[in-house]
Amino acid sequence: MSTQPHQNDHPFVAAGQWLAALAVRIVARSLNLPEPLLHVTGSVVFAQVQAIETRAVRSLRPMRLRRQLLAWFR
């Protein structure tokens, strides 16, 4: 019976997960927040940044920019 190696069995993956967990703990302690609250806060911040970027990209439509540039130079 042979076992398939799991992705998590690789030492670099395990070290990366350990470092990520350590970084979360350090940030949570420095901000005096529990870890779950830090994760939720990070999700909310990500969603806000995503919404801002989406609005910014919508405002940079090529035809709209062309009209604005033409209006400036008239």
Model pTM score: 0.51
**Phi/psi of residue 49, nearest 5 degrees:** -65, -40
Q: Give me the number of domains the chain comprises.
A: 1
Asked if residue 3 is part of any domain, the answer here is no
- Span 9-42, pLDDT tens digits: 678 888 899 999 999 999 999 989 899 998 888 8
- Span 43-69, average pLDDT: 85
Quick check: 4 pLDDT over 60? Answer: no
pLDDT at residue 22, as a whole number: 93
pLDDT at residue 6, as a whole number: 58
Asked if residue 41 is part of any domain, the answer here is yes
Q: Per-residue DSSP letters for 22-60? A: HHHHHHHHHTT--HHHHHHHHHHHHHHHHHHHHHHHHHT
Whole domain around residue 21: which residue ranges?
A: 8-72
In which band, very low, low, confident or very high, does the pLDDT at 7 lie, cut at 50, 70 and 90? low
Asked if residue 62 is part of any domain, the answer here is yes
